[in-house]
Amino acid sequence: MKLACTNLMLPGNNLTEQANLLHKWGYDGIAIFVNYSEWNEELRAEILSLRERTGIIPCEFAFGDEIYGHLMDGDAELRTKSREMYKLAAEISGELGAVTELEFAYGAQNPLPLFHPYQKMTEAEERDFLDMYKEVAEPLRGTKGQMLLEGINRYESPYLNSIKDCRDVIDALKLENAGVLADFFHMSIEEADMAESIKYAGDSIKHVHLGDNNRLLPGYGAIDWKRCFDALKEIDYTGFLNLECSTSGDPSTTLPETAAFLKKMMK
């Protein structure tokens, strides 16, 4: 297993400065989230050369924008724009050999699903979702990049809240560049037993997001990290563990400390 951190958590004027900090603090990779409106070829060149210049691997890439999370939207124009953005993220991930992600939908749910969790897609919705997945993952064909399905909690997505459900969809999809992204924060809300869910999802898990149940750094909340790491070892997970949470204070102090904490769990 290898450690990474999301660029949005880091100080620094650019990705190169942030990657150099991560190298100093004991990390192996960086997850890069970029505003879609700010994308340009200069930034692309910086990202593509980052590993060679800093020793830090760009392990994940995604765009952020108001059209994010609208892959299945009822508005055809919005849906098309969103899918084009995801396809570009897939193209860049293919160049990097990195992962990118998708969900059925992403955003605050209204009304909130207070008493009816784990809603299931209809057969028509699942068929349309699988078709969309294949469409946006097409730029990854023939590359080492992956488009991963992330389990998102019920308050932010109507379906596919559990990584167990995500594993079942991936099995139905039968797509080489697909898999499951296991996010510990979302899992702490949705999984009855996080370790058992990790074992169920098994080798479909290709990337992991780390954040405690309160979305602070690992060890700052209530998740049983040792048991979950034991489950990752049991399924022979060797990919990246990427921090996607609060820095819980001064990152120059808390991120090196967290790297040391996680490396103990990894042994």
User: Domain holding 174: CATH number?
Assistant: 3.20.20.150
Question: Average pLDDT of 55-76?
Answer: 97
- Do residues 212 and 218 lie in contact, with contact meaning Cβ atoms separated by under 8 Å? yes
Question: Average pLDDT of 230-252?
Answer: 98
DSSP state of 246: -
Per-residue pLDDT for 117 more than 90? Answer: no
Residue 203: Cβ-neighbour burial (10 angstroms; 0-12, 13-18, 19+): exposed
In tens, the pLDDT along 143-193 reads: 999 999 999 999 999 999 999 999 999 999 999 999 999 999 999 999 999
**Residue range of the domain that includes 84:** 2-266
The model's confidence at residue 44, banded by pLDDT at 50, 70 and 90, is very high
Average pLDDT, the chain: 97
Length of the chain: 267
The model's confidence at residue 115, banded by pLDDT at 50, 70 and 90, is confident
Statement: the pTM of the whole predicted model exceeds 0.85: yes
- The domain total for the chain is 1
The model's confidence at residue 263, banded by pLDDT at 50, 70 and 90, is very high
Share of the chain above pLDDT 90, in %: 96
Q: How many other C-beta atoms lie within 10 A of the C-beta of residue 198?
A: 27
